[in-house]
């Protein structure tokens, strides 16, 4: 039995540490720890709720937009603002574009190097790569000379002796299974995807001024004026440019990403047997198709328990709690209780080792993440959860795409509950949204043509129109999963703010009952060929697409006093 | 004159970039840098012949927004190459190695390239709880920053969090977060590239400047390059004519909003914010915040989360009463610190009921060991 530490886990957002016990070449137990804390929610106290989205958006720059969306929804829920249809359409466009772009970056730039051996690509026969590429897609960049050029670029890079970000990695590890020709194809598409994402995200610049950290959100609507006759508004020219970018997006996803995903996955089908995790899946749902509370959602909400795809349970936000038994926080009423976010407290109390340290004491508190639970159970959130709930709810297009992928890989639905299942579900969702997004561009054009130009509910902009006390919740499906913000407003200012974030659900530590969080559960029984090179651990952790900056919570006012005493 | 075998030229050819396109790109860069056209050839030559300097990119209390911005570098093929001229030996978000292999890469760069590498720091550095608010590989952010900055030829604090503390340092600063200049006071050759996040065009321009002149550009009192932060947003804003004409947006989506009137009354902080957004714009020149109808929030200014909020409250002064003159004065005062400007206008009420830290530090004095050509405090600070 030996203890393996992976810190930092790289190719993620933020600071994540994994400790694992490895025996006989497999992981016997694992602990997930977040090692960074900022206290964004406390910073929000006392501020104008209309400003909150700009603060919370900075919780994460990789999933930019997501905390802005959840925040404006929470404040709108509290004060009763009703954004007009154009605001809903613009938000759907922004959310879907974020999801598509983020998933592509994850596949190629954060996750691919767990499956693709760059050094092996140097021994590829470009003619063979060309044949492979043309057998799986009609994407035009597939000639022998094209892949020869890519190979020469990589060769020159290696010969120069400065491997930069690719130095000291796991090249040649026995867990890499792709033939050199497939590795070369993947490296070429890694580079193409870099260019693609930069172009595609111009959708956000058009609708939000810039990316990362768009600046067009407003409580009650959007700040982007719409007028077909004005140069300073979204107009017919914008629609044409959006349509072009949306088409290019779908082109890349359907002709490069999905064929690559299927080709690479076919070499790693054994990973449908690893990384199962907790087996409970939670989805808030996303993409309202009408306005006002209770509108139908393009991707449905729901709960699946114990991998039972025959039953989708209705989601009840009242069943959400957070525990701190193994988190560096204290609860006034005892550390083994679970608190609903409306009653949430967050008093940090770091009891871990003083840095620099070698090991965390995982029997005690060991993470800056809390342990969220639904009805007492740990829940996996993210693309796999969304696709499972949609599939089990009978979503026609999701059923088609899931069936297509399972058929092509020659596996059954049970393969979805795995590391490979997460990778596949992310690709399926990307294709689904890359298709769907053009509907919203068309809806925007229709409204523009009818001179339906409203973008904002001005009736609730002035704080004097708000109730003296108000509370609201905002739910959103971020690329990495279910995101909720809860806000209390009093006398026009934020009194309390709580976020429960996808990576808190997935990466959180054990709870009072000893139930592991989803990362920890998914790592059980993961094979580890070489303890010095924890490539397999990275595969399963990366399949969740960790985003640690998002996951970490706030301190309350009591703690500030403690901190001051300590400082002095 | 140019070595045809240079790595950079070969790289250009491989990427299908013609000599002419490359020269055009250098021309655009020199324009960003506000350099005379004659410098273009010099820029081109310097980039071509450069050996790849080593760069280590550290992330502390960050959101990775600056890293994402890096991925958006415009003029894609050539912009990439400019960044490829650096050997990025450590960057947690993109590097293939993890855990102790990753840490070994950092240790090797610090040991073998001491005094030569460039350190980029993203995110603030917490000093509370003995460093436990941010650890990597069991070491505190402060410990790592001190080690890495000590051996760096120069340190670039990228984004407002690294430059000035940013969001984590916003009142009440729960983790005692600091920007690099305060956390590592003996840092040498520090350049701040604030904004939330940084506009990658300004990082690209800084890198080219460094490779070309083997020196760093002139900086303002907050150690920001003048080529990017030398003018107020308001001075170059495409809506300035509407401001001067007294034409303002009064409500979101009204006719003035759709027509592109001035956002001053909706809370725009452009008059007291210094950055080149109106000229360079964002995402391959696609747009910028005011261009999409939302006010500037002043994201490259120190303490903007405290000094520029509430974001939708307009700057002091009543439109219609000699406002052009008044706002110009606000702009002038701003370089001496927006707090001074706000104080002068009696807007301390902005912060009533909130525990706001000291708003703007006095301008740091120029140091001999820093490369800055500081503007004198009189140059823009007026009689404040």
Q: Show the 3-state SS of A437-460.
A: HHHHHHHHHHHHHCCCCCCECHHH
Comparing CB atoms, the residue among B98, B139, B289 nearest residue A356 is B139
Task: For residues B322-333, give the mean pLDDT.
Answer: 45
Chain A residues close to B291, C-beta within 8 Å = 209, 232
d(Cα A228, Cα A142) in Å, to the nearest integer?
A: 41
Comparing CB atoms, the residue among B95, B293, B309 nearest residue A165 is B95
Interface contacts (A, B; CB < 8 Å)? 329
Q: Please name the residue of chain B whose CA is at the shortest distance from the CA of residue A108.
A: B94
Helix residue spans in B72-186 (DSSP H): 76-84, 99-112, 141-150, 159-164, 180-183
d(Cα B196, Cα B173) in Å, to the nearest integer?
A: 18
Q: What angle do CA A225, A230, A236 make, to 5 degrees?
A: 85
**DSSP sequence for A444-512:** HHHHHHTT----B-GGG-SGGGS-SEEEEEEEEEETTEEEEEEEEEETTEEEEEEEE-HHHHHH----T
Residue found under tokens 């969001």: B167
Chain B CB within 8 Å of residue A156 CB: yes
pLDDT of residue B212: 78
Q: What angle do CA A400, A281, A74 make, to 5 degrees?
A: 100
What whole-number percentage of chain B has pLDDT above 70?
66
Name the minimum distance, in Å, from the CA of A314 to any CA of chain B: 33
Chain B CB within 8 Å of residue A352 CB: yes
Q: Taking CB atoms and an 8 Å limit, are B251 and A458 in contact across chains?
A: yes
Q: What is the pLDDT of residues A404-413, one digit of tens each?
A: 999 999 999 9
pLDDT of residue A293: 83
Task: For residues A229-254, give the mean pLDDT.
Answer: 97
Task: Inform me whether the pLDDT recorded for A239 exceeds 60.
Answer: yes
**Local confidence band at B22 (pLDDT 50, 70, 90 cut-offs):** low
d(Cα A351, Cα B23) in Å, to the nearest integer?
A: 58
Size of chain B in residues? 384
Instruction: Determine which helix (DSSP H) or strand (DSSP E) holds B57, and give its type and residue range.
Output: strand B54-59
**Local confidence band at B19 (pLDDT 50, 70, 90 cut-offs):** low
**Local confidence band at A134 (pLDDT 50, 70, 90 cut-offs):** very high
Going by C-beta distance under 8 Å and a sequence separation of 6 or more, which residues neighbour residue A395? Answer: A299, A300
Residues B290 and B238: beta-carbon distance below 8 Å = yes
pLDDT of residue A374: 97
Q: Report the relative pairing of strands B54-59 and B87-91 from DSSP bridges.
A: parallel
Task: Inform me whether the pLDDT recorded for A41 exceeds 90.
Answer: no
**Local confidence band at B31 (pLDDT 50, 70, 90 cut-offs):** low
d(Cα A9, Cα A16) in Å, to the nearest integer?
A: 6
Task: For residues B187-215, give the mean pLDDT.
Answer: 90
Chain A residues close to B147, C-beta within 8 Å = none
Comparing CB atoms, the residue among A8, A55, A215 nearest residue B102 is A8
Residues A244 and A437: beta-carbon distance below 8 Å = no
Distances (CA, A) of A437 to A244, A251, A287, A441, B219: 12, 13, 10, 7, 44
3-state secondary structure of B274: strand
3-state secondary structure of A365: coil
Going by C-beta distance under 8 Å and a sequence separation of 6 or more, which residues neighbour residue A344? Answer: A322, A486, A496, A498
pTM of the model: 0.90
Task: For residues B220-234, give the mean pLDDT.
Answer: 96
Tokens of A32: 């997930």
**What residues 11-40 of chain A have any CB closer than 8 A to a CB of chain B?**
11-15, 35-40
pLDDT of residue B30: 62
Chain B CB within 8 Å of residue A216 CB: yes
d(Cα A324, Cα B97) in Å, to the nearest integer?
A: 32
Comparing CB atoms, the residue among B197, B257, B310 nearest residue A213 is B197
d(Cα B215, Cα B147) in Å, to the nearest integer?
A: 23
Residues forming beta bridges with residue A6, ordered by sequence position: A18
Chain A residues close to B172, C-beta within 8 Å = 42-43, 560
Over chain A, what is the mean pLDDT?
94
Task: Inform me whether the pLDDT recorded for B26 exceeds 80.
Answer: no
Going by C-beta distance under 8 Å and a sequence separation of 6 or more, which residues neighbour residue B329? Answer: B382
- DSSP character for A551? H
Q: Taking CB atoms and an 8 Å limit, are B310 and A51 in contact across chains?
A: yes
């Amino acid at each position: 039995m030996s203890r393996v530490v992976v810190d930092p886990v790289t190719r993620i957002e933020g600071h994540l540490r994994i400790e694992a016990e490895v025996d006989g070449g497999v992981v016997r137990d694992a602990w997930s720890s977040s090692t960074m804390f900022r206290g964004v929610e406390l910073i929000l106290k006392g501020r104008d709720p209309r400003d909150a989205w700009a603060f919370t958006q900075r919780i994460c720059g990789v999933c930019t937009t997501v905390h802005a969306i959840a925040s404006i929804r929470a404040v709108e829920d509290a004060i009763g603002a009703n954004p007009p249809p154009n605001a809903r359409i613009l938000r759907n466009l922004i959310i879907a574009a974020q999801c598509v772009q983020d998933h592509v970056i994850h596949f190629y730039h954060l996750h691919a190097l767990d499956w693709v051996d760059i050094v092996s690509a140097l021994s590829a026969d470009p003619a063979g790569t060309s044949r492979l590429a043309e057998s799986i897609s009609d994407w035009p960049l597939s000639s022998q000379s094209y892949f020869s050029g890519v190979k020469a670029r990589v060769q020159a890079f290696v010969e120069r002796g400065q491997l930069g970000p690719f130095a000291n990695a796991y090249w040649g590890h026995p867990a890499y299974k792709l033939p050199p020709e497939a590795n070369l194809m993947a490296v070429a598409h890694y580079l193409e995807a870099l260019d693609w994402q930069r172009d595609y995200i111009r959708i956000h610049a058009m609708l939000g001024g810039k990316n990362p950290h768009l600046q067009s959100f407003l409580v009650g609507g959007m700040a982007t004026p719409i007028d077909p006759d004005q140069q300073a508004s979204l107009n017919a020219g914008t629609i044409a440019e959006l349509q072009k970018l949306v088409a290019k997006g779908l082109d890349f996803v359907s002709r490069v990403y999905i064929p690559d995903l299927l080709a690479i996955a076919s070499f790693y089908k054994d990973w449908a047997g690893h990384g199962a995790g907790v087996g409970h899946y939670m989805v808030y749902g996303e993409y309202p198709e009408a306005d006002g509370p209770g509108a139908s959602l393009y991707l449905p909400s729901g709960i699946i328990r114990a991998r039972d795809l025959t039953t989708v349970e209705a989601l009840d936000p009242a069943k959400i709690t957070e525990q701190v038994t193994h988190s560096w926080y204290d609860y006034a009423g005892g550390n083994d209780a679970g608190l609903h976010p409306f009653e949430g407290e967050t008093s940090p109390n770091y009891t871990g080792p003083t840095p620099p340290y070698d090991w965390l004491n995982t029997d005690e508190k060991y993470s800056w993440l809390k342990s969220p639970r639904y009805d007492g159970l740990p829940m996996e959130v993210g693309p796999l959860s969304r696709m499972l709930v949609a599939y089990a709810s009978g979503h026609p297009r999701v059923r088609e795409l899931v069936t297509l992928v399972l058929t092509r890989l020659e596996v059954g639905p049970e393969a979805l509950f795995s590391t490979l299942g997460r990778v596949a579900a992310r690709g399926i969702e990307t294709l689904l949204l890359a298709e769907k997004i053009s509907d919203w561009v068309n809806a925007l054009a229709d409204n523009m043509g009818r001179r339906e130009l409203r973008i904002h509910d001005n009736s609730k902009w002035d704080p004097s129109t708000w109730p003296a006390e108000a509370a609201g919740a905002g739910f959103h499906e971020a690329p990495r999963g279910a995101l909720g913000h809860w806000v209390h407003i009093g006398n026009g200012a934020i009194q309390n703010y709580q976020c429960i974030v996808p990576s808190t659900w997935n990466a959180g530590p054990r709870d009072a009952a000893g139930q592991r969080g989803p990362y920890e559960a998914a790592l059980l029984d993961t094979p580890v060929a070489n303890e010095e090179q924890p490539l397999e651990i990275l595969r399963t952790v990366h399949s969740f697409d960790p985003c640690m900056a998002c996951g970490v919570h706030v301190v309350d006012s009591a703690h500030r006093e403690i901190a001051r005493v300590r400082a002095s | 004159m140019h070595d045809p075998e240079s790595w950079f030229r070969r790289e250009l050819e491989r990427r299908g970039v013609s000599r002419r396109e490359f020269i055009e790109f250098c021309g655009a860069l020199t324009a960003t840098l506000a350099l005379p056209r004659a410098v273009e050839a010099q820029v081109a030559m310097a980039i071509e012949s450069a050996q790849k300097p080593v760069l280590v990119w550290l992330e502390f209390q960050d959101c990775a927004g600056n890293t994402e911005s890096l991925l958006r570098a415009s003029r894609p093929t050539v912009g990439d190459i400019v960044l490829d001229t650096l050997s990025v030996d450590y960057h947690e978000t993109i590097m293939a190695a993890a855990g102790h292999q990753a840490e070994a890469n950092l240790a090797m760069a610090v040991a073998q390239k001491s005094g030569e590498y460039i350190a980029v720091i993203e995110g603030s550095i917490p000093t509370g709880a003995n460093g436990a608010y941010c650890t990597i590989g069991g070491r505190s952010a402060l410990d790592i920053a001190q080690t890495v900055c000590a051996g760096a030829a120069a340190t670039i604090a990228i984004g407002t969090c690294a430059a000035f503390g940013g969001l984590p340092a916003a009142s009440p600063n729960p983790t005692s977060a600091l920007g690099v200049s305060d956390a590592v006071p003996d840092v040498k050759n520090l350049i701040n590239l604030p904004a939330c996040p940084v506009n990658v065009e300004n990082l690209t321009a800084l890198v080219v400047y460094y490779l070309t002149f083997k020196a760093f550009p002139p900086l303002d009192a907050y150690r920001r390059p003048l080529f990017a932060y030398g003018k107020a947003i308001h001075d170059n804003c495409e809506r300035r004519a509407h401001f001067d004409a007294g034409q303002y947006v009064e409500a979101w989506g009204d006719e003035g909003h759709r027509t592109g009137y001035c956002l001053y009354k909706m809370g725009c902080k452009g008059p007291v914010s210094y950055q080149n957004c109106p000229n360079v714009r964002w995402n391959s020149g696609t747009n910028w915040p005011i261009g999409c109808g939302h006010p500037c929030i002043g994201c490259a200014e120190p303490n903007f989360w405290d000094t520029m909020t509430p974001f939708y409250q307009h700057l002091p002064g009543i439109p219609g009463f000699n406002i052009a003159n008044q706002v110009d004065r606000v702009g002038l005062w701003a370089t001496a610190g927006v707090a001074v400007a706000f104080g002068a206008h009696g807007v301390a009420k902005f912060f009533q009921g909130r525990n706001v830290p000291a708003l703007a530090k006095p301008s740091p004095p120029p140091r001999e060991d820093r490369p800055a050509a500081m503007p004198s405090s009189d140059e823009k600070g007026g009689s404040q």
